[in-house]
Amino acid sequence: MTILQAEDAVNGREGVATAEIDGQVVELMELSNITVTIEKNKTEFKAMGTRNTQNKATGWTGTGSMTVRFVSSRWAELMQRYVKEGIDTYFTIVVKNEDPSSRTGKQEIQILGCNLDSVDIAALDIDSEVLEQDFDFTFNDFNILTPYNSLV
């Protein structure tokens, strides 16, 4: 039996994310967290001779969410371009996890066709020591550029 050792757990702070927006690669230094999810779309399937309802995968939907510190106008500028000119921006994000103390090595995931759902364009908050904003996005595809090392 293989047991996960504490030193091989991946520290969530050990990594970086970059975005390629309009051909320019930028490090998302304002990023506080990011979660990218694939959800299968399923259709219920019933068959004679059984009482259960089965499920058939029929596609998938890609969604993500980010929390960023309110220190860049980048996201508001993308929304302004859509509002003023009708130009919607699709971009690529690469998320790299790399904890040097873990034997897992690094993992790099490329998320393609990212498109913002909503963005806070201005904020003030007397109870906040650091202004942050949360926003959601969708995406169309992904690639595992570098998989983690196997621990077994």
| 90 domain residue, yes or no | yes
| 1 domain residue, yes or no | no
Which parts of the chain are beta strand (E)?
A: 15-21, 24-27, 31-46, 53-69, 91-98, 106-116, 132-139, 141-146
| 131 domain residue, yes or no | yes
Q: How many domains does the chain have?
A: 1
Domain ranges, residue 106? 6-146
| 98 domain residue, yes or no | yes
Which position has the token pair 């219920």?
44
Residues of the chain scoring pLDDT < 70: none
pTM of the model: 0.89
The two tokens of residue 44 are: 């219920």
In this prediction, residue 144 carries a pLDDT of: 98
| 45 domain residue, yes or no | yes
In this prediction, residue 137 carries a pLDDT of: 97
Domain of 13, CATH number, reads 2.30.110.40
3-state secondary structure 97-134: EECCCCCCCEEEEEEEEEEECCCCCCCCCCCCCCCEEE
In this prediction, residue 152 carries a pLDDT of: 81
In this prediction, residue 2 carries a pLDDT of: 83
| 151 domain residue, yes or no | no
The two tokens of residue 145 are: 């550029």
Strand, helix or coil at 93? strand
